[in-house]
Amino acid sequence: MDWIIGIIVLIVKLGLVLVGLLLLAAYLVWVERKFLARLQIRYGPNRAGKFGLLQPIADALKLMVKEDTVPEAADRILFLLAPAVVATSALLMFAVVPFGSHLTLWGKKIPLVITDLNVGLLYVFALSSLGVYGVALGGWASNSKYSLLGGIRGAAQMISYELALGLSLVPIVMHAGSFSIVDIVNAQAKYPFILLQPFAFVIFIVSAMAESKRIPFDLPEAENELGAGYHTEYSGMRFGLFFLGEYVHMQVLGAFVAVFFLGGWRGPLLPAPVWLFIKIILVALIMIWIRGTLPRLRYDQLMAVGWKVLIPAALLNIMVTGAILLI
Amino acid sequence: MSKLIIDDREIEVSPGTKVIEAAAQLGIMIPRFCYHPALGSVGACRVCAVKFIQGPFKGVQMSCMIDAQDGMVVSTTDEDVADFRRHVIEWLMLHHPHDCPVCDEGGHCLLQDMTVSGGHGIRRYLGKKRTYTDQFLGPLLQHEMNRCIHCYRCSRFYQEYSGYRDLGAMQSANRTYFGRFTDGILESPFSGNLSDICPTGVYTDKPSRYFGRRWDYQRSPSLCINCSLGCHTVASIKYREVKRQEARFSEPVNGYFICDRGRYGFFYSSLESRPRMARINGKQCTFNQAQHAMIEKLEEIKKNSGSAAIAAVGSLRSSLETLVMLAQLCQTKRWRDPACFIDSSQVQNVKTAISRLEPQLRVSLRDIERADFILAVGADPINEAPMLALAMRQAQRNGATIVVIDPRPVSLPFPFLYLPAAPMALSAYLGSLIKAVVNRGTADKMGDGARKFYDRIPEGKKLAEAQPPLSSEMLQSLQQSRRPIIVCGTEILSETVLSLSADFALLLQAAEKQAGLFYLMPGANAFAGGILSGEKDSFLQIIEQIEDGSIRALISVEADPFWWFDDRPRLERALDKIDLLVVLDYLDSQAAQRANIFIPTATFYESGGMLINQEGRVQVAPRALLGGIPISQAGGGDHPPRLYDVGIAGFDPKAAWLTLADLANGAAQEDEKALQQHLWKQISDLIPQLATFSSIDEIPQEGIVCSCGVNIDSRFSINWSAASNIRHDSGDDFDLIEVDWTFGTEELSSLSPCLWKLERKPCLVMHSGRAEIIGLTDVDLVEISTETGSLEAELRTADNMAPGILVLPRHRKLAWQIFTPGKIRIRKDQIRKKQ
Amino acid sequence: MAEALEAIKALATGFATTFKHLFRKPITEEYPEFKRTLPERTRARIILTRDPDGGERCVACYLCSAVCPVSCISMQSAEKEDGRRYATWFRINFARCIYCGLCEEACPTSAIQLTAMFETCERDILTLVYEKEDLLVDHGGKDKEYNFYKYAGVVTQEGGKGEHIKEDKPVNVKSNLP
Ligand code: SF4
Ligand code: SF4
Ligand code: SF4
Ligand code: SF4
Ligand code: FES
């Protein structure tokens, strides 16, 4: 009997998280467009519904009814697969994010996380590198110069920043003494790690933006050089999936910033998931602000920042942390 | 060879090459207006200036006027010359009208190109512009003299190159005018070339006037199918319609020019009356229905009367593909062999010509220009193959003697020696010519057969009495010639004369002359028809077999017997008698209108394909357009229909050979590639010279000359006793010969409305002496009656023709088909003056 | 070090600027409610104009269709009885037009002109294909003066040989006088 309830609970959790994520992704787009507009003294979407609130729905509808074209010379199977890889890998990452400690229902303790892996952190990295495949395959399978270049750029960029991203989290693991995300959150019961590891925070947030290919790191899709880079040839909902992947990625990264540095779901007064939500939005707003302010990097600058600044800094940070922890 | 340096690059050219040509060989295009490779240099326009830095000349000179010499160092980019050229252009543009937007030359105008590339943009001249009044020059060319830059190309082409005199330069200096003395239709059948060679828009193509720009035309290489020479053309297509045709350079065939019959003979392909839909018993139906009906009906006839009851007619305007496919179809289905010719004498003539075109004898049209003696036997170049006349004109300009022996009154745009001779007398003439220039020893060199042949040549005494004698001038220049060529028509002669001409050429070669032989043939693909036909396969034979009931069904592939069969009532009776007439054609011919089943086919422009010209040259034309009803018709003159995604209207017709392939296989064939490969195999089996190529695309542009059908055993084998049996001209009757005219007698070009004005009025031609005897005079209206009908036409008399001959053009406006096929003799009481 | 400080300062100013923008009133002009008067040379919906005498200016020279980068102009030229060259039909597919204005630039007769009328949205794409009757207007557009046939040397109702602007009388070919 227990296991049946377990499964039901899991499915409910999965459903809620998925719906929440997708809705949030959609509205994140709206937030981004609105906020960005205001940063640039514009209104942003304001026609579909009050304050343009129905815009994401209109967009989704439009994408869904648009023709899904496959270029003649494309590698069909890979071409069709690539967007799914991007979207799923981003969605799957959320499986290990705890959005509260636990809930007690009918005397049962239900942990507010889909699964608490003891290697949660590694799982996250494994998935986030999987996302590269989506980009690289999409770029390659389209059989178009723009896409190919975008795909290559994407692969190079994500591999480079993956390192810094990972390394920046090593001190956190050292502090928490565990790879489990739940443990990491619990380790921040007293104070968030941002206070302990401000450098790691900066490195993480920069690499995270690069991971999710956001301005100023949007070289793989740089529209003025590559059309739309790896998804130049995509249309309709398949393009939508890439888009979705990107915004889910943004949320996931926001969630991870919250989890690793901002104490996760912890916070006074409000219920845990709300805190997590607030923190995610906060991170997203910062990302948008950055987008609204900075121009795109040049490719060599991008690589230089990754390899010459972030990675050494992260390594240094690890050493210093290690030293301090030893003492 | 002289070695010179042009723009720092070295090139070696043969002596006599102009610097402008040497540069062209290096890929450097020096601007030019007056220079034209075919017309030579005159140095009139001054735009080809280059700078000579070293060598025998120094400074700025005209590159078209100076022969390339050793040690020359030439710059085409030097600042001095660039500046010089810029000024020249500015002078030329002083009086140029503000016309480009409404000028049909715009887009391929040499003057525009030079003005833009020379850097002259803003007009500085403030004075008034000189103007000229234009002339009406006929239906082919529009005149707009304001645009002239006085390069003299037109007058040089018209007068020097082609030998006509009614257009040329008038006045002097700033008033020089190019045109006719008064308005009127240009006399030259080569006048269309003016629109090609005029570097500006003075002469523009009238039939395509204001229709489109060069850049909008789909321009595709094509071949002319309006006579047997197979000249190279460029077809310009716009909005699914062939709208204009230009000459395409071809070294061995037509050079830079084509004649007006070819240039304007394409209108049939987009006539509004062109049938685009299949028909069963006159009712329109889909292509597939007609095809099914055809296959079924033929099956039925085969069951009832056997497969030998089905016969097919091929056409001399069909592609080689179609003819081969038809022959194969007849073979596999065990039908009668297809007939492409009217009667057995026509087949035999063509077959004889083919068998005598030995590789060392046959010459190309280009070689004719280099001849120093041309003997035309039974050939009327201007009327039968106009470009031949232009080639002969070049030979004549270079000093060749031209001799024409022909029963017809022949006119050529240059001086030539003419001997009127009845077709029967031609062999006697040739005999005495041989005797006069070849001696027995020479004949002996060719072997026993030749010697015997030589010995049997009858003495020409009788001839000398009755006919104008061979002049000594003629004999002398033949004796002295180095490169004599015999040109021989196949239409009005007997097979003996054709053979004799070849033997003559052989003997001339034995006499150490570079002699050549050139036959004309009765249709664009007559050569192919000749290879594929048996000795007896003729339409006449089919008619006879229909009459005796052994043929029950007839398939006519792009052929219209009504156009060429001599006896119309007999033809009608025969067609009434058969159970099934299937016609495949792209013209709405009379046969097509009578057909039980009619299936439209694609024109040569729409199918592309191979043709074998009279020299045996296999030439290829690619498909120039896909087909379909022209936009101008689909929209009824207004804008095209506002529809999308409805396919191309009128796109049904496909190449005749494809329909035949469907018929051979009993069902529509999907895989066109496979069919093509199969067909290619057949064709290359037929023509061994093609075996080295793996597909039609590999055939070079100038074609491949084939020697299939050559038969060396037929040398020196003519029967002299029959040949010298000259019928005494009693003065009581006439031999009627049916002839071609430049315009109005050829099936396809007769459908071009713009050529109608150029057609001469149909008339019968008779020797003036004879006319007098029977009491007729010039321009009398006469009636000829035969057992089958009567014919009315104007009578023209001529002095320069054989007396016992009546010449009848197969004019489209004349219902001339009232004779019994074969030799036609008209008694004088059959000719009556009409009041 | 100084460089790093400089960079940080630059970054900070940037962020500050965008941040300040957050609180400014957007400068957007909202389109259907507010319609700005557009400059005369705005490039939108194309017209075919007439010369001052009311004649169709277009001579169907095909230059606009040749220059159009998206090939959305097609036409058929022909000759009128009086010798004028004109377009029997003239079609612009506005669904394709990118309003680059190259056609106007290429036109030797000032016939084709872009106007400020840009509200051409349609539900049925075929209605965006404009025919000559939709394009032809009865004024001269931006160019009120030019009349091509008054300058061109060809014979039309606007003038015979030698009667156009800046033309001499036709040469008399049969005269010997200097
Ligand atoms: S001849 Fe050439 S330059 Fe003169 S109006 Fe015609 S296109 Fe223009
Ligand atoms: S009419 Fe043409 S070809 Fe003749 S001189 Fe003038 S520009 Fe040259
Ligand atoms: S504005 Fe540009 S795109 Fe539109 S019709 Fe003119 S040339 Fe073509
Ligand atoms: S460029 Fe001007 S004159 Fe020429 S076709 Fe276009 S609109 Fe007509
Ligand atoms: S081309 Fe040499 S002067 Fe005209």
pLDDT tens, residue by residue, B750-771: 999 999 999 999 999 999 999 9
Atom number in ligand 1 closest to CA B201: 1
The residue with tokens 């590559």 is: A226
A contact residues 23-62, partner C, Cβ 8 Å cutoff: 37-43
By most ligand atoms within 8 Å of CB, the mutation choice from C59, C71, C92 for ligand 4 is: C59
pLDDT at A212: 78
What residues contact residue A317 under an 8 Å CB cut-off, 6+ apart? A167, A168, A171, A197, A199, A200, A203
* Structure-token pair, residue A52: 């343009």
pLDDT at A88: 86
Judge: C62–B175 Cβ closer than 8 Å, yes or no.
Answer: no
Identify all chain A residues contacting C8, using CB atoms and an 8 Å cutoff: none
Q: Cα–Cα distance between B586 and B663 in angstroms, integer?
A: 18
Judge: C21–A39 Cβ closer than 8 Å, yes or no.
Answer: yes
Residue C128 near chain B (CB below 8 Å): no
**What subunits make at least 3 CB pairs under 8 angstroms with C?**
A, B
Task: Place B81 in a pLDDT band, splitting at 50, 70 and 90.
Answer: very high
Atom number in ligand 4 closest to CA C107: 1
Cβ atoms B98, C150 nearer than 8 A: no
Q: Cα–Cα distance between B138 and B182 in angstroms, integer?
A: 12
Task: Place A235 in a pLDDT band, splitting at 50, 70 and 90.
Answer: confident
Ligand 2 pocket, residue B200 CB under 6 Å: yes
- Mean pLDDT value across residues A159-170: 85
CA-proximal residue: ligand 1, atom 7 (nearest): B106
- In order of start, what are the domains of chain B with their CATH numbers? 2-92 (3.10.20.740), 124-270 (no CATH), 278-341+527-645+653-663+670-693 (3.40.50.740), 347-521 (3.40.228.10), 729-834 (2.40.40.20)
Burial zone of B481 (CB within 10 Å; 0-12 exposed, 13-18 middle, 19+ buried):
buried
pLDDT value at B371 more than 80? yes
Helix axes A272-293 and A2-39, enclosed angle (nearest 10): 30
Q: Which of A42-46, A178-182, B411-415 has the lowest mean pLDDT?
A: A178-182
pLDDT value at A102 more than 60? yes
Identify all chain C residues contacting A39, using CB atoms and an 8 Å cutoff: 18-19, 21-22
* Structure-token pair, residue B810: 């197969």
pLDDT value at B465 more than 70? no
pLDDT tens, residue by residue, B685-728: 999 999 899 889 999 999 999 998 899 999 998 877 766 666 66
pLDDT at A171: 84
Ligand 2 pocket, residue B137 CB under 6 Å: no
Handedness of CA A81, A83, A85, A88 (dihedral sign): negative
Residue B760: how many other CB atoms lie within 10 Å: 13
Q: Cα–Cα distance between B266 and B245 in angstroms, integer?
A: 8
Q: Which ligand is nearest to the CA of B198?
A: 2
pLDDT at B723: 64
Domain boundaries, chain C: 46-147
Cβ atoms A208, A306 nearer than 8 A: no
pLDDT value at B462 more than 70? no
Nearest chain C Cα to B146, which residue? Answer: C153
Identify all chain B residues contacting C78, using CB atoms and an 8 Å cutoff: 210-211
Task: Place B645 in a pLDDT band, splitting at 50, 70 and 90.
Answer: low
3-state secondary structure B221-279: EEECCCCCCCCEEEEEEECCEEEEEEECCECCCCECCCCHHHHCCCHHHHCCCCCCCEE
pLDDT at A268: 75
- Mean pLDDT value across residues A24-49: 86
- Mean pLDDT value across residues C69-98: 94
Judge: C28–A40 Cβ closer than 8 Å, yes or no.
Answer: no
Q: How far is C157 from chain B (nearest CA, A)?
A: 15
Show the beta-strand stretches assigned E in B86-200: 129-131, 141-143, 168-170, 177-179
pLDDT value at B682 more than 60? yes
Judge: C17–A293 Cβ closer than 8 Å, yes or no.
Answer: yes
pLDDT tens, residue by residue, A116-129: 777 778 888 888 87
Judge: C66–B171 Cβ closer than 8 Å, yes or no.
Answer: no
Q: Do chains B and A touch (3 or more CB pairs under 8 A)?
A: no
pLDDT at A1: 66
Say whether B708 sits in a helix, a strand or coil.
Answer: coil
The residue with tokens 């029977």 is: B774
One-letter identity of residue B671 = D
Beta strands B553-557 and B310-313 are parallel
The residue with tokens 């729409």 is: B606
One-letter identity of residue B403 = V
Q: Cα–Cα distance between C118 and C43 in angstroms, integer?
A: 8
Cα–Cα nearest to A180, from A257, A92, A259 = A259
Cα–Cα nearest to B387, from B225, B231, B206, B203 = B231
Q: Cα–Cα distance between B100 and C154 in angstroms, integer?
A: 10
One-letter identity of residue B733 = D
Q: Which of A156-165, B407-416, B592-601 has the lowest mean pLDDT?
A: A156-165
pLDDT at B728: 65
pLDDT at C27: 87
**Helix then strand then coil, % of chain A, to nearest 5:** 75, 0, 25
A7 vs B250, which has greater pLDDT?
Answer: B250
Q: How far is B249 from chain C (nearest CA, A)?
A: 27
pLDDT at A318: 87
How many Cβ pairs closer than 8 A exist between chain A and C? Answer: 33
Q: Which CATH number fits domain C46-147: 3.30.70.3270, 1.10.10.10, 2.60.120.680, 3.90.1170.10?
A: 3.30.70.3270
Backbone φ/ψ region at C159: left (φ over 0), alpha (ψ -120 to 50), beta = left
Q: How far is A35 from chain C (nearest CA, A)?
A: 8
- Mean pLDDT value across residues B391-411: 95
Task: Place B67 in a pLDDT band, splitting at 50, 70 and 90.
Answer: very high
* Structure-token pair, residue A76: 């069909």
- Mean pLDDT value across residues A174-184: 79
Task: Place A145 in a pLDDT band, splitting at 50, 70 and 90.
Answer: confident
Cβ atoms B389, B542 nearer than 8 A: no
By most ligand atoms within 8 Å of CB, the mutation choice from C47, C49, C62 for ligand 4 is: C62
Residue B447: how many other CB atoms lie within 10 Å: 13
- Mean pLDDT value across residues B39-66: 93
* Structure-token pair, residue B437: 């220039």
Ligand 4 pocket, residue C111 CB under 6 Å: yes
Per-range mean pLDDT, top range of B404-418, B712-726, B817-831 = B404-418
Cβ atoms B528, B284 nearer than 8 A: no
Task: Place A267 in a pLDDT band, splitting at 50, 70 and 90.
Answer: confident
pLDDT at B724: 61
pLDDT value at A78 more than 90? no
Q: Which ligand is nearest to the CA of B153?
A: 2
Cα–Cα nearest to C148, from C53, C47, C23 = C53
Q: Cα–Cα distance between B488 and B135 in angstroms, integer?
A: 39
User: Residue B582's beta-bridge partner residues?
Assistant: B555, B597
Cβ atoms A200, A314 nearer than 8 A: yes
pLDDT at B80: 93
Q: Cα–Cα distance between B790 and B794 in angstroms, integer?
A: 13
Judge: A38–C26 Cβ closer than 8 Å, yes or no.
Answer: yes
Cα–Cα nearest to C170, from B126, B141, B146, B152 = B146
CA-proximal residue: ligand 3, atom 6 (nearest): C103
pLDDT value at B537 more than 80? yes
How many Cβ pairs closer than 8 A exist between chain B and C? Answer: 107
Task: Place C176 in a pLDDT band, splitting at 50, 70 and 90.
Answer: confident
pLDDT tens, residue by residue, B203-249: 999 999 999 999 999 999 999 999 999 999 999 999 999 999 999 99
CA B805 to chain centre: 26
What residues contact residue B795 under an 8 Å CB cut-off, 6+ apart? B763, B764, B765, B766, B771, B776, B777, B778, B779, B780, B781, B782
Judge: B101–C77 Cβ closer than 8 Å, yes or no.
Answer: no
pLDDT at B614: 95
> Nearest 5 degrees, angle CA B348-CA B349-CA B354?
95
Task: Place B412 in a pLDDT band, splitting at 50, 70 and 90.
Answer: very high
Rounded to the nearest integer, the mean pLDDT of chain B is: 92
Beta strands B516-519 and B218-223 are unpaired
Nearest chain C Cα to A47, which residue? Answer: C30
Q: How far is C159 from chain A (nearest CA, A)?
A: 53
What residues contact residue B404 under an 8 Å CB cut-off, 6+ apart? B376, B379, B410, B412, B416, B417, B418, B419
Cβ atoms B101, C110 nearer than 8 A: no
Judge: A41–C19 Cβ closer than 8 Å, yes or no.
Answer: no
- Mean pLDDT value across residues A211-232: 80
B583 vs A244, which has greater pLDDT?
Answer: B583
pLDDT at B327: 95
pLDDT value at B593 more than 90? yes
* Structure-token pair, residue B326: 């038809």
Judge: C85–B639 Cβ closer than 8 Å, yes or no.
Answer: no
- What does pTM read for this prediction? 0.83
Q: Which ligand is nearest to the CA of C45?
A: 3
pLDDT value at B8 more than 80? yes
Task: Place B460 in a pLDDT band, splitting at 50, 70 and 90.
Answer: low
pLDDT at B463: 56
Domain boundaries, chain A: 71-326
Nearest chain A Cα to C32, which residue? Answer: A47
pLDDT at A137: 84
CA distances C123 to A180, A211, C45, C46, C127, Å, are 56, 41, 17, 19, 8
- Cis status of the peptide bond prior to B420, with omega within 30 of 0: no
Q: Cα–Cα distance between B205 and B103 in angstroms, integer?
A: 11
- Mean pLDDT value across residues B289-306: 93
Identify all chain B residues contacting C126, using CB atoms and an 8 Å cutoff: 642, 644
Q: Dihedrals φ, ψ of B348, to 5°?
A: -65, -40
Number of helices (H), then strands (E), in chain C: 4, 6
pLDDT value at C94 more than 60? yes
CA-proximal residue: ligand 3, atom 8 (nearest): C68
Cβ atoms A302, A218 nearer than 8 A: no
Cβ atoms A132, A82 nearer than 8 A: no
pLDDT at B726: 61
**Best interface-test mutation with B: which of C122, C161, C169 has the largest number of B CBs within 10 A?**
C161
Q: Report the run of H or E that residue B307 belongs to, with start and end.
A: none
CA B425 to chain centre: 28
Q: Which of B340-354, B426-440, B578-592, C99-113 has the lowest mean pLDDT?
A: B426-440
- Mean pLDDT value across residues B551-570: 94
pLDDT at A8: 83
B228 vs A216, which has greater pLDDT?
Answer: B228
Q: What is the DSSP string of A166-218?
A: HHHHHHHHHHHT-S-HHHHHHHTSSS-HHHH-HHHHHHHHHHHHHHTT-TTS-
pLDDT value at B171 more than 70? yes
Judge: C18–A43 Cβ closer than 8 Å, yes or no.
Answer: no
- Mean pLDDT value across residues B140-145: 96
pLDDT at B188: 96
Helix axes B110-118 and B79-93, enclosed angle (nearest 10): 130
Cβ atoms B743, B749 nearer than 8 A: yes
CA distances A61 to A54, A82, A249, C113, Å, are 11, 21, 21, 38
